[in-house]
Amino acid sequence: MANAKPPYFLGIDVGTEGLRSGIFDARGNVVALSFYSYPSYHPRPGWAEQDPMDWWKGIQDTVRRCLFEGEVRPEDVAALSVSASSCTVLPVDRFGNPKYRAIMWMDVRAFDQAERVNATKNPLLRYAGGHESPEWMIPKALWLKENLPDIFVNADYIVEAQNWIMFKLTDRWVTSLNNAICKWNYCPTEGGWPVALLRDLHFEELLQKWPKELIPVGEKVGELTKRAAYELGLVPGTPVIQGGIDAYAAMVGLDVVHPQRLAMVVGPSTCHLAVSERPIFSPGIWGPYYGAVLPNLWVLEGGQSSTGSVIKWFTDNFAQEECARACELGEDLFALLDRMVAQIPPGSDGLVLLDYFQGNRSPYQDPLARGALWGLSLSHTKAHVLRAIYEGTAYGTYHILKTLAQSGFEVEEMYASGAGARSRLWLQIHADVTNIPIYLTTVEEASTLGTAIYAAVGVGFYDSIPEATLKMVQISGQIYPNRENHEMYLFYYDRYVRSYFQLRDLMHEVAARTGGFPG
C-alpha cells in the first residue's frame, strides 16, 4: 500500500473456483486483495452448477476484508464494478430470488439445443465462429424451457451471474453490452437483439425474460443501495459501474486494448482475446464482436476448455507427495512443478498430449473431443507426463494463433495473467512453441484490476479505457522465445494437430457409449 492514496476503485471478479475483490489506487497499485472460494456441483456428467448465494457471501466477505486489511475508509471508495464468468445462466424472479442453481459456463448439458441453433444456419452464427456453443445463453435457456418448464415459465428473468450481482447492488435489472454481444448473440451491426434467430427456434419468449437496458462496460449502472452498502460495509450511493465478462476485464487489466496484442488469461481454462480494427471472420474463433469493450473496435476470442484444470487433475491424482511437500515448505506449488518439468527435455522424450479434457473450444468447437496422451514407453516418468501437459496446452494456444493468422490477424505480443501465469516455465514453453514474446504485468489478478479500471473510467477519473490502462497497468517482465526450442516444437505441434483427426471418430464413439453426449 506504499504511496497509495485515495480515491480508490473497487473491482470484484466472480470466477469459476472463487471470487476475488481488489481495491486499487488511481495508478493501479494494489491497496488490498481478498479471495473467497466456493463449491461447484456436478449432479450429472457434463453438468456444472453453483449456488448464487455463495457469490453474494463471497462479495460481503472479500469487500469487508479489503477495507480492513487495506485500512481504507468506505467513503474513499470512489466507485466499484463487477465482472464475472460468462455463460453462467440463472433463472430468477423479479426480486432476484434464484429459481434454480446457476448453470455454469463449463456445463454442456445444452448440447442438443446448441445443435438446433446451428441447424438454423442463421446469419448471426458467423459472429460465433460459425458454430454456437452449448456454453452460451440461448442453448442453456432453451434447455431450461424444455427440461424444467415450470422453472422457465415462473422465472421473470433469465440472466447471467453479472446481471444478478448488479441487481443485488443497485436494485436495477440491466444487461452488460459485453455479455450480450459475446454470449447472447446480440449483434450491433445486424440489428441488435437476435429476434430472427429466436424466431427460427420458436423461442421468441426468451426476449421477454432478458433485461432490455444495455449498458457498455465503464458506464454507470446506478448507486449502491442502503441494503447492499450495509452488507458490504460501504457507503450508500457509491457509484456502481458496468462490468462484464471476467476474461474481457483481464484483457483491459493487461492493456490489450491495441491491435496485434493478445491477452492470454490462464486459469482452469485459457481465454485468448485480441482487438482488431476490422472484422475478421475465422472458423472456430468466436466473434468478431463489434464494440464489446471499446467503441469502433472488434474483439476476437479463442479458448481452450481445459488447461490449468489439466494440471490440477495431474496434481490431484499423481502428485500428492509434491503437493504435500510444497505445503509443508510454504512454497508455491508451481515452483515445485516447474522444477520437475525442467528435468525433461523439450518434446517430453516423444510424448504428445491432446488437451481436450473438456472438449475443444477453438478451433474445432467440438465438445465431444477428449484428452489423449500417446508415445508412452517404460522409460517415461510422471515428470514426462507433466511436461507433456505443459507442452500440449501450449500447442493448443499455438493452434489458435495459427488459425487467426490464416484469417489475416497476426499476433506480435502476448500478455499473460491468471493463476497459470505463476509458472514461468509453462509461460516459457508457450513462448517457445508460439515464437512470440510474453509480457507480464505487476498485478497478476488482471481481471480484478481491469474491473477496477472500469470503475475509474465510469466516474470520469479517466476519459477512456485506453487512457486508464496507460496509467494503471504496469509491465513487470518479459519472456522471450528460444528459437532452437521453437524449431524442435514444430515437429511435435504437427503431430498434435494430426492426432485429433486420427482420433476424432473414436473419441465420439466412446463419448456416446459412456454418456458423454450431454442432455
Using an 8 Å Cβ cutoff, are 243 and 81 in contact?
yes
Exposure class string for 397-413: b at 16+ Cβ within 10 A, else e: bbbbbebbeeeebebee
Percent of the chain with pLDDT over 90: 87
Report whether pLDDT(518) > 50. no
Closest C-alpha to 247, from 59, 467, 417, 40: 417
Distance between CA atoms of residues 296 and 278, nearest Å: 9
Rg (CA), the chain: 22
Amino acid found at 388: A
By the 8 A CB rule, do 444 and 427 touch? no
pLDDT tens, 154-194?
999 999 999 999 999 999 999 999 999 999 999 999 999 99
Whole-number Å distance between alpha carbons of 144 and 100: 10
Q: Which superfamily does CATH assign the domain made up of 308-407+482-513 to?
A: ATPase, nucleotide binding domain (3.30.420.40)
- In angstroms, rounded to a whole number, what is the distance separating the alpha carbons of residues 244 and 451? 8
- What digits encode the pLDDT tens for the residues 7-33? 999 999 999 889 999 999 999 999 999
* Each residue's pLDDT tens digit, 124-135: 999 988 889 899
171 vs 328, more confident: 171
Question: In the predicted model, is pLDDT for residue 1 greater than 90?
Answer: no
352-354 and 220-223: which strand pairing?
Answer: unpaired
pLDDT tens per residue across span 449-473: 999 999 999 999 999 999 999 999 9
Q: ∠ at Cα 443 (262, 20), nearest 5°?
A: 100
In the predicted structure, residue 483 carries a pLDDT above the cut 50? yes
> pLDDT category, 516, cuts 50, 70, 90?
low
Dist. CA 180–CA 382, nearest whole Å: 43
Burial class (CB in 10 A: 0-12, 13-18, 19+), 235: middle
Q: Is the pTM of this model over 0.75?
A: yes
Q: What is the 3-state secondary structure (H, E, C) of 296-340?
A: CCEEEEEEECCCHHHHHHHHHHHCHHHHHHHHHHCCCHHHHHHHH
Helix (H/G/I), strand (E/B), else coil: 405: helix
CATH topology match: 8-244 vs 308-407+482-513? yes
Q: Render pLDDT for 249-305 as a digit per residue (tens, 0 to 9).
A: 999 999 999 999 999 999 889 999 999 999 999 888 999 999 999 999 999 999 998
Statement: residue 111 has pLDDT above 50: yes
Section 42-62 average pLDDT: 94
Instruction: Classify domain 8-244 at the CATH topology level.
Output: Nucleotidyltransferase; domain 5 (3.30.420)
Measured between alpha carbons, how far is residue 243 from residues 136, 162, 228 in Å? Answer: 18, 8, 17
Say what the pLDDT of residue 152 is.
98
Are the beta carbons of 430 and 397 closer than 8 angstroms? yes
CB 250, CB 327: distance < 8 Å:
no
Q: Are the beta carbons of 407 and 285 closer than 8 angstroms?
A: yes
Q: How, if at all, do strands 102-103 and 49-50 pair?
A: antiparallel
Q: Quick one: the chain helix, strand, coil %, rounded to 5?
A: 45, 20, 35
Query: What does 480-518 look like in DSSP terms, one character per residue?
Result: ---HHHHHHHHHHHHHHHHHHHHHHHHHHHHHHHTT-S-
Query: Distance of CA 407 to CAs 176, 264, 402, 474, Å?
Result: 29, 19, 9, 31
Bridge partners (DSSP) listed for residue 13:
20, 83
CB atoms near residue 109 (< 10 Å): 22
Backbone angles phi, psi at 299, to 5 degrees: -115, 135
**Sequence ranges of the domains in the chain:** 8-244, 308-407+482-513
**CB-CB contact of 354 with 503 (8 Å):** yes
pLDDT tier at 515, thresholds 50, 70, 90: low
How many other C-beta atoms can be found within 10 angstroms of the C-beta atom of residue 439?
A: 17
Rounded CA gap, 114 and 119, in Å? 9
Q: Which residue has cell 479434457? A: 357
pLDDT band for 519, please (50, 70, 90 cuts).
very low
For the segment 58-86, the average pLDDT, to the nearest whole number, is 98
Whether the CB-CB separation of 303 and 367 falls below 8 Å is answered with no
**DSSP string of 249-262?**
HHHHHTT--STTEE
Beta-strand relationship, 77-84 and 239-241: parallel
pLDDT at position 286 is 92
pLDDT in tens, 183-241: 999 999 999 999 999 999 999 999 999 999 999 999 999 999 999 999 999 999 999 99
